[in-house]
Structure 1
Amino acid sequence: MQEITLEDIRSLLDSGSLELIAIQREVCLPILQRIYRKMKFGIKFENIRVNNSRIVDGHHRYICSILSNIEIGINDWPISSTVVNYSWNEVIINEEDYESQEMILEHNNRDAELNNVDVSVLNDLVNI
């Protein structure tokens, strides 16, 4: 399966083509790669949460949906008035994994249940 690279993501973030606004200063390359693999495999994800074009929750899913050319749903969601917007070209792509193996397994269990798939398939897909 094709992998997304740091360069693929940076190119997208620098393209000026993203419609939604980031309120998160940083994203995680390993998380993006895991979500992308799952999306390309056909795993469906929870909708992202957005308030007036600002992503409240779902930056990684949004980026992966664009890169994989797979539509993701959007739910309207409240947001704090103190939240800061970031230009996508300012967003840092961190190459260190934010998630522990336990967190990854938790996500895989949730995604397996949501998609009625055996969790071992997802564990294999993301190399756990």
Structure 2
Amino acid sequence: MQEIDRLIVQKLLNSNELELTSTQKALCLPILQRIYKKMKLGIQFDGVKVKNSRIVDGHHRYICAQLAGVKIEYMEWEIAKGAPDHEWSKMNIVEEDYEDSDQIKEHHKRDAELNGVDESIFKDL
């Protein structure tokens, strides 16, 4: 299975091809890598929550869907009035994992249940 790395992500962020606007200033590379691999396996995810094309929740899912070439639903959602926009090209890609092993296992369990698959398919992610 193809891996994604910082350079692949940065190329997308610099492409000016992203239709939604970011409201956060960083992405976690290990989370992107896990979600991307799951998407390439055909795992479905909850949609990206947006308000007037601004992402409220789902930045990592949005970027991974773009990289994996899969469609993801956009759901209208409310956003805090003071939430600032951030340029994708200036996004900080963090290589330290935001999630610990228990959080990762919990995500695997949830994704397996939502997709009706055995969570063992995620053991090497």
Q: TM-score range by the shorter chain?
A: over 0.9
C-alpha distance in 1, partners of 2:121/2:86? 36
Residue 121 of structure 1: how far off its partner (Å): 1.1
Aligned position for 1:90 = 90
| Aligned 8 A contact 1:105 1:123 in 2 | no
C-alpha distance in 1, partners of 2:95/2:122? 21
C-alpha distance in 2, partners of 1:18/1:35? 18
Count of aligned positions: 125
C-alpha distance in 1, partners of 2:51/2:97? 27
Aligned position for 2:13 = 13
C-alpha distance in 2, partners of 1:15/1:55? 18
Q: Cα RMSD between the aligned structures?
A: 0.6
- Give the share of equivalent positions with the same residue, in percent: 51
C-alpha distance in 2, partners of 1:59/1:86? 12
Query: What are structure 1's unaligned runs of at least 5 residues?
Result: none
**TM score, norm. by length of structure 2:** 0.98
1:20-31 → structure 2 map (5 Å cutoff): 20-31=20-31
Query: What are structure 2's unaligned runs of at least 5 residues?
Result: none
SS of 1:4 mapped into structure 2: coil
| Aligned 8 A contact 1:13 1:89 in 2 | yes
Aligned position for 1:61 = 61
Aligned position for 1:77 = 77
C-alpha distance in 2, partners of 1:74/1:120? 29
Residue identity matched to 2:102: E
C-alpha distance in 1, partners of 2:74/2:18? 15
